[in-house]
Amino acid sequence: MKNLILLVDDNPTTLFYNEDVIGEVFPDFDLKSYEKSKELLADFLNNQFNEYQRVILFLDLNMPDYSGFEMLEEIEEEIDDLDFLEVIILTSSKLKSDTEKATRFPQIKGYIEKPVTPQKIKEILG
């Protein structure tokens, strides 16, 4: 089975940069990007990722339509088995309230403070 990287960030420049850096770390993964968290949520709820064995979601928390946490809550409510999903939070700041809230989501494997670098990714995912 195939593996997939999902990126969601409402800033097109940041998204373009992240695609390049993350694609370099995971050259054998398919890669799909979203500027709108609503579009990613719709794809999750329509089972667009069933063909993948492993999905790593790089998730910006602060977005205009759904925050990263709101999106994860919705996904968690609608999809029973999320063992295939690993989430890396991308953030501009490390608010203590965000790190505390993240502990309620077992899919969250860590935080990366922007900008993303190959080293930061490898520190979290090995």
We report the CATH number of the domain holding residue 28 as 3.40.50.2300
pLDDT confidence of 16, banded at 50, 70, 90?
very high
Mean pLDDT of 32-37: 95
pTM greater than the 0.75 cutoff:
yes
> Hey, what long-range contacts does 49-54 have (CB within 8 A, 24 or more apart)?
49/4, 49/6, 49/84, 51/1, 51/2, 52/1, 52/2, 52/3, 52/4, 52/84, 53/1, 53/2, 53/3, 53/84, 54/3, 54/4, 54/84, 54/86
Q: How many domains does the chain have?
A: 1
pLDDT, tens only, 40-84: 999 999 999 999 999 999 999 988 888 999 999 999 999 989 999
The chain-wide mean pLDDT, for the chain, equals 92
Which domain, by its residues, includes 108?
A: 2-125
